[in-house]
């Protein structure tokens, strides 16, 4: 096995790579009626017992509530900030899988990124660059939140639709609806481990896959066999750092509740030495900033800075109880003790 090289004066050290268990990051692309919502729910409920859905389609996911069990949140507007808060709420509540149906609304929906840029341009004499200066970092934060969540994420994407003429079995030209590019920011497909395009016949063509067994696969009416293949691929390898921390009784949601450096240090001081290292290893996965060579004290400062930044943002649009404050908007709740069984604040997700 390759041994780690000496640490460079910059603090960078290369270490042997290991295969770790992972959480799914999947996108389903297709035109209306191709089965995106149904397929996402089928896969999500096969991958975990507790499923949350961000339903931007006026309750459309609820049409399948007689077949699948899940909780739903229906945002009224589609700012990337709303998506960020909903993803964090599902993560903190301990859901196994989150379906974002659809992610296209964060781009082109009411209050989404494009509308935010247009509004900013109107305030700046038609200069859209001023809008993108603010919206691009916000959209990037949405992507980072989605990738950093400690649960499986399946996102549906609308496609820009076009009709083409094809010959039917009788040689007659008939119109057929086909999907083209996703309604989202260019290059978003790079962020997903698995991406597939559904056509109007509910045929899934895998267009991107880090799972070798599914590369370039064409699947008629995807079902539980696909979920099994995905599960086997995700479970291969060693437990991830978040799972290791959880096995030590550490809940990253508890860490996010800490409101000061003193509270954070007191929490960590009570942990066993091995657990402290797992906490340090888990924090890069739980926070948007990623410092490989940070000390434990560095991470505590980042944690507190992030908490204060979230406080200054003010209330968002998602109906989510802040995990950092006591019910009713009172004083901050006392910092949790390591390994406590206190559950995270529950987002107000309605059972479908």
Which CATH number is 166's domain given? 3.40.50.300
pLDDT of residue 30: 92
326 domain-assigned: yes
Answer yes or no: do 196 and 294 share one domain. no
Residue 2 belongs to some domain of the structure: no
Q: In this structure, are 205 and 286 located in the same domain? A: no
Q: How many Å separate Cα 321 from the centre of its chain?
A: 19
- Tell me, yes or no, whether 213 and 251 share the same domain: no
Q: Classify residue 159: in a domain, yes or no.
A: yes
Q: Are residues 101 and 42 in the same domain?
A: yes
Per-residue confidence of the chain (352 residues) as pLDDT tens digits? Answer: 555 555 667 777 788 888 888 899 999 999 889 999 999 999 999 999 999 999 998 899 999 999 999 999 999 999 999 999 999 999 989 899 999 999 999 999 999 999 999 998 888 877 888 889 889 999 999 999 999 888 999 999 999 877 778 888 888 888 876 657 889 998 899 999 999 999 989 999 999 999 999 999 999 999 999 999 999 999 988 776 666 666 666 665 666 566 566 676 777 777 777 777 767 666 555 544 434 445 666 666 666 665 555 555 444 444 333 333 323 333 333 444 444 444 434 445 666 6
The last residue of one of the domains, among 235, 254, 274, is: 235
| Whether 246 and 160 share a structural domain | no
Same domain, yes or no: 192 and 311: no
Q: Looking at the structure, tell me whether residues 35 and 166 fall in a common domain.
A: yes
Q: Are residues 174 and 278 in the same domain?
A: no
Which residues are 238's β-sheet partners?
Answer: 20
Residues 37 and 181 grouped into a single domain = yes
pTM above 0.85, yes or no: no
SS3 of 233, please?
helix
Q: Looking at the structure, tell me whether residues 161 and 123 fall in a common domain.
A: yes
Nearest alpha carbon to residue 105 among 24, 50, 185, 34: 185
For residue 175, the tally of other CB atoms under 10 A from its CB is 8
Is 4 within the bounds of a domain?
no
Q: Are residues 223 and 271 in the same domain?
A: no
Within-domain flag for 133: yes
Whether 19 is in a domain gets the answer no
Which residues constitute the domain of residue 285?
241-343
Contacts made by residues 279-282, CB under 8 angstroms, sequence distance 24+: 279/245, 279/250, 279/255, 281/241, 281/244, 281/245, 282/241, 282/242, 282/244, 282/245, 282/250, 282/252
Number of domains within the chain: 2
**Domain boundary at 194, 210, 235, which?**
235
Query: Of the residues 205, 235, 265, which one is the last residue of a structural domain?
Result: 235
Q: Do the domain assignments include residue 5?
A: no
Q: Is 327 helix (H, G, I), strand (E, B) or coil?
A: coil
The answer to whether residue 285 sits within a structural domain is yes
For residue 326, the model assigns a pLDDT of 29
Instruction: State whether the Cα torsion 267-89-81-153 is positive or negative.
Output: positive
Does 217 share its domain with 272? no
């Amino acid at each position: 096995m390759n041994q780690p090289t000496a640490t460079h004066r910059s603090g960078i050290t290369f270490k042997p790579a290991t295969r770790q268990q992972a959480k799914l990051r999947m996108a389903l692309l297709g035109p209306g009626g191709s089965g995106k919502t149904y397929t996402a729910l089928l896969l999500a409920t096969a991958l975990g017992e507790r499923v949350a859905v961000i339903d931007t389609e006026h309750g459309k996911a609820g049409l399948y509530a007689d077949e699948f069990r899940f909780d739903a949140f229906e945002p009224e507007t589609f700012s990337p900030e709303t998506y960020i808060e909903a993803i964090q709420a599902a993560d903190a509540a301990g859901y196994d899988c989150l379906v974002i149906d659809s992610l296209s609304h964060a781009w082109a929906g009411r209050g989404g990124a494009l509308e935010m840029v247009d509004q900013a341009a109107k305030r700046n004499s038609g200069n859209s660059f001023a809008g993108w200066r603010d919206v691009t970092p916000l959209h990037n934060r949405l992507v980072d939140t989605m990738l950093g969540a400690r649960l499986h994420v399946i996102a549906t994407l609308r496609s820009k639709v076009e009709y083409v003429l094809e010959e039917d079995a009788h040689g007659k030209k008939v119109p057929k609806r086909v999907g083209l590019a996703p309604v989202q920011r260019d290059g978003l497909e790079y962020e997903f481990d698995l991406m597939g395009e559904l056509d109007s016949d509910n045929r899934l063509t895998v267009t991107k896959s880090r799972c070798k067994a599914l590369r370039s696969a064409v699947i008629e009416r995807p079902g539980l066999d696909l979920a099994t293949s995905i599960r086997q691929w995700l479970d291969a390898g060693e437990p991830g750092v978040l799972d290791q921390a959880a096995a030590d009784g550490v809940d990253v949601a508890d860490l996010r509740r800490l409101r000061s450096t003193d509270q954070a240090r007191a929490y960590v001081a009570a942990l066993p030495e091995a657990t402290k290292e797992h906490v340090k290893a888990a924090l890069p996965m739980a926070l948007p900033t990623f410092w490989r060579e940070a000390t434990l004290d560095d991470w505590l400062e980042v944690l507190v800075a992030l908490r204060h930044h979230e406080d200054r943002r003010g209330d968002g649009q998602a109906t989510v109880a802040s995990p950092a404050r006591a019910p009713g908007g009172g004083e901050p709740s006392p910092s949790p003790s390591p390994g406590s069984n206190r559950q995270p604040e529950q987002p107000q997700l309605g059972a479908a």
